[in-house]
Chain A
Amino acid sequence: MTASLSERLLLARLRNREEAAFNEVVRLHGDKVFNLVLRMVGNRSEAEDIAQEVFVTLFKSIDTFRGESQFTTWLLRIAANHSKNRIKYLSRRPTDREGLDAMPESVLADHGRGPMHGHVRAPDAVLESAQVDDMMQKAISTLAEDHRLLLVLRDIEELSYEEICEITGLPDGTVKSRLHRARMALKEYLEDKRE
């Protein structure tokens, strides 16, 4: 995999522990990592914690990145592994989804946004969007962890099959068949809820 010149320069600066380079990487990839983790664990405060941990890991272990894959897929693999570990940890612990964490994600996303931060959405639209978001997140959470990861990578993050194979380490055929099963399971769940 050939990295672009700008990416190679950024990586070299990152290996020298240049703080500005690290800030640049967080600016470039922060949203993608956060959203992947959020959709995997389905809980905003957990997601913030894990996504931060992903970048701390990146800062510590950038020397282990040998450039055999794309930098983005390497970073998303770290994010996927951290998410899976946290899901395992949380499944062994009684969950507490009270308070803010239980609120639909899109409601939280609109909190604190004034007119200076873009458009103002009508309360009905916010609520409706929040309900759809909440329903979709619940549906995703019913999937097995490896199916969930494939669905998030392909249908939310819109990565190519090649990138997904790099992140998961699975062969192309396995990715496609598992993804199909995940999509059909999600469809069945949502259709049941709509009826």
Chain B
Amino acid sequence: MTTPTDTHGRVQDSFSAYLDGELAAPDKALVEQHLAACLQCRTHLEQLRRTLGSLGSLKRKAPPTFLPDIQRQIFTRSSGRFFGQRWRLFGKIPFEWLSMAMIVAMLAYYILTQHGAPTSVSPTP
């Protein structure tokens, strides 16, 4: 025979599943039927609902220095292999354009020295 205490216990054991919407329809109906008649269980359910509602507000963002701090740690532990200032600087230099400019400059220098300069003329006797 089921005592009233057993019923309260069984219903309260279902509260999490009830609030998560995880109870099967017949079980949900039984819980709601009991709640309609039991102030004690209704109070417990409201308290639980309030508690879970408060938990939802406990979200905090990582501090603004979070990423730089991690990068610094990895830089130190990798002996400067990753996240180093030196590599960041190299990333900003446009090597492709610099190479092209060097090639053009060398070509111009070659043309000028080979074709632009006056050829030496030996004086006529």
**Given A34-B60, A56-B70, A105-B60, does the pair A176, B47 have CB atoms closer than 8 Å?**
no
A84 CB to closest chain B CB (Å) equals 19
Query: Range of interface residues on chain A?
Result: 35 or more
A26 and B70 contact, CB distance less than 8 A: yes
Query: Residue A187 at the B interface, CB < 8 A?
Result: yes
Supposing A109-B60, A183-B48 touch, asked if A136 and B54 sit within 8 A by C-beta, the answer is: yes
Q: Which of B11-19, B34-42, B108-116 contacts A (4 or more CB under 8 A)?
A: B11-19
Stretch in A4-12, A47-55, A65-73, A93-101 with 4+ CB within 8 Å of B:
A47-55
B69 within 8 Å of A (CB atoms): yes
Interface residues of B in 51-67 (CB under 8 A from A): 51-52, 54-63, 66-67
Contact A187 B66, beta carbon cutoff 8 Å: no
Q: Of A17, A106, A109, which one neighbours B82 at CB under 8 angstroms? A: A17
The answer to whether A48 and B66 touch across the interface, beta carbons within 8 angstroms, is: yes
Given the known A-B contacts A26-B67, A52-B70, are A34 and B61 also in contact in the complex, defined by CB atoms under 8 Å?
yes
Residue B73 CB within 8 A of the other chain: yes
Q: When the two chains form their complex, are residues A180 and B56 in contact, meaning their CB atoms are under 8 A apart?
A: no
Contact B51 A35 (CB under 8 A): no
Residues of B within 8 A of A156 (CB): 55-56, 58-59
Does B92 touch A at the CB level, under 8 Å? no
Inter-subunit contact B55/A27 (CB<8 Å): no
Listed in ascending order, the chain A residues whose CB lies under 8 Å from chain B are: 17, 19, 23, 26-27, 30-31, 33-35, 38-39, 48, 51-52, 55-56, 59, 105-106, 109, 129, 132-133, 136-137, 151, 155-156, 158, 176, 179-180, 183-184, 186-187, 190-191
